[in-house]
Chain A
Amino acid sequence: MTDKEALFEFLLRLADDHLVLGHRMSEWCGHAPTLEEDLSMPNMALDLIGQSRNLYTYAGEVEGLGRDEDALAFLRTEDEYKNLLLVEQTNEDFAQTMLRQFYFAVFMELFWEKAHSSSDEVLAGIAGKAIKEIAYHVRHSAEWIIRLGDGTEESHQRMESAVLELHRFTDELFEIDDVISSVVEAGIIADPSSLKAEWDRRVGQVFAAAKLEVPVEYWPQSGGRAGKHGESMGYLLTELQYMQRTYPGMTW
């Protein structure tokens, strides 16, 4: 694998994380319990999809085969998608939606802070914008986790179930393989495992306020980076790619 191939693969993963999570958040549009939330979730979706567009466009340039953001988003199959398993998990209830957002946003906040001084100028530029946006995602999701965790008996129980369901997908955030090693060595990103302690601290801080326990024993799940996804991923892509698959080449 050349440096260029590693950079492309890395950008694609990051773009996929953002598009898939953005799509999940957009599924709440029109279904949120209050108007304010109905505005907030599509807004977060918009941020994530906007960030994914910047990343896909750059990935396409790095690859140099003429694929643009649309080709990368709409014309790849499930096993070509390299997103984290965490971000493809279904919305279920508010507890699970907000916890998924929180786990990812806390990581990305740390990640973008480092990427802002990346040796790669384009990524540093994208980081400069994303870092301001992600701060809102962290705050908004953290507020909900505390509100629900330290809320009623039912809301607390739902938060606990969400933690039990999602925590096993968080180890994948910090995983290192050849692709990551290559971009770390090139000074493009910080070693993700070096972000783990601070991620644990920030998550622990919010969990303490939310009267939630951070799981100690669980079975870590991964495979997204290798294109191995859960069943729900196929349904997500079916909806996301419907127009381009049905009417190839259509434009607005």
Chain B
Amino acid sequence: MVVLEMDLDRTSKRAAWQAAASVVDPEIPVVTIEDLGILRDVQVEGKTAFADVTPTYSGCPAVLAIELAVETALLEAGFKPVVRRVVSPAWTTDWITEEGRSKLKAYGIAPPEKVSSSIRSLFGETEVTCPHCGSASTQKLSEFGSTACKALYRCEACKEPFDYFKCI
């Protein structure tokens, strides 16, 4: 009997996780919040599902949209949703999954170079690979790109501009 209840708990927790994890980033709709490492935890108590999400940047305007989407997804899966915003430990690009990284690349966004999460010294530069042609000969156009989490680059080889997911 006890075993059965534990199994039930596990099943409903998995259902809740899957529902929440299906939510995509409103600004980069090819990656889910699971891919980005934004979804930290999902717990189920009775009919209530608690989802912990963490913002990428303090001022990320997508946070509210994401929280709302998680709430909706959990509701649709039959749970009473409680979305909790967790700021600590701070999100790092190291939490982006391998799958997330390849999805970003296929979408034309260079995934963060794996050096995190130390703060680079003043004027420190990283080598960024072009997501289109794979050339390492790229140039930073702007530290700040179309969203807080991206920088703007240009490839010297294929001449295409592209976004780089900043490493934090």
Q: A interface vs B, CB < 8 Å?
A: 36-37, 39-40, 43-51, 53-54, 121, 124-126, 128-133, 135-136, 138-140, 142-143
Q: Which one of A130, A139, A142 has the highest number of Cβ atoms from chain B below 10 Å of its Cβ?
A: A139
Which residues on A sit within 8 Å (CB–CB) of B143? 40, 136, 139-140
Q: Is there contact, CB below 8 Å, between B58 and A125? A: no
Q: Is there contact, CB below 8 Å, between B144 and A129? A: no
Q: How far is the CB of B26 from chain A (nearest CB, A)?
A: 15
* Interface of A (DSSP majority class): helix
Q: Which one of A49, A126, A136, A142 has the highest number of Cβ atoms from chain B below 10 Å of its Cβ?
A: A136
Which residues on B sit within 8 Å (CB–CB) of A50? 55, 57-60
Q: Is there contact, CB below 8 Å, between A49 and B59? A: yes
Please judge, given known A-B contacts A49-B59, A50-B60, A54-B58, whether A126 and B119 are in contact too, CB under 8 Å.
no
Q: Is there contact, CB below 8 Å, between A126 and B144? A: no
Which residues on B sit within 8 Å (CB–CB) of A37? 142
Q: Is there contact, CB below 8 Å, between A129 and B58? A: yes
Q: Which one of B59, B60, B87, B92 has the highest number of Cβ atoms from chain A below 10 Å of its Cβ?
A: B59
Q: Is there contact, CB below 8 Å, between A36 and B144? A: yes
Given contacts A36-B141, A126-B87, A129-B91, 17 further A-B contacts (CB under 8 A): A43-B148, A46-B59, A46-B60, A46-B61, A47-B58, A125-B87, A125-B89, A126-B58, A129-B55, A131-B90, A132-B117, A132-B119, A132-B168, A138-B122, A139-B123, A142-B122, A142-B123
**CB-based nearest A residue for B86:** A125
Please judge, given known A-B contacts A128-B90, A139-B123, A143-B123, whether A39 and B57 are in contact too, CB under 8 Å.
no
Q: Report, as a range, how many residues of chain B touch the other chain.
A: 20 to 34
Q: How far is the CB of A70 from chain B (nearest CB, A)?
A: 14
Which residues on B sit within 8 Å (CB–CB) of A138? 122
Q: B interface vs A, CB < 8 Å?
A: 55, 57-61, 87-92, 117, 119-120, 122-123, 141-146, 148, 152, 166, 168
Please judge, given known A-B contacts A128-B88, A135-B119, whether A39 and B58 are in contact too, CB under 8 Å.
no
Top 9 A-B residue pairs of the complex, sorted by shortest distance between their CB atoms: A50-B59, A125-B88, A50-B58, A36-B142, A46-B59, A40-B144, A128-B90, A43-B144, A132-B168
Cβ-neighbour of A131 out of B59, B119, B144 (below 8 A) = B119
Cβ-neighbour of A36 out of B59, B87, B90, B152 (below 8 A) = B152
Q: In the complex the two chains form, what is the Cα distance from A125 to B88 in whole Å?
A: 5
Which residues on B sit within 8 Å (CB–CB) of A124? 88
Which residues on A sit within 8 Å (CB–CB) of B117? 132
Q: How far is the CB of A11 from chain B (nearest CB, A)?
A: 15
Q: Is there contact, CB below 8 Å, between B87 and A54? A: yes
Q: How far is the CB of B20 from chain A (nearest CB, A)?
A: 22
Q: In the complex the two chains form, what is the Cα distance from A121 to B87 in whole Å?
A: 11
Q: In the complex the two chains form, what is the Cα distance from A164 to B150 in whole Å?
A: 35
Q: Is there contact, CB below 8 Å, between A135 and B120? A: yes
Q: How far is the CB of B161 from chain A (nearest CB, A)?
A: 11
**CB-based nearest B residue for A51:** B58
Please judge, given known A-B contacts A132-B119, A142-B122, whether A40 and B142 are in contact too, CB under 8 Å.
yes
Which residues on A sit within 8 Å (CB–CB) of B88? 121, 124-125, 128-129
Cβ-neighbour of A51 out of B59, B90, B141 (below 8 A) = B59
Please judge, given known A-B contacts A125-B87, A129-B87, A138-B122, whether A39 and B61 are in contact too, CB under 8 Å.
no
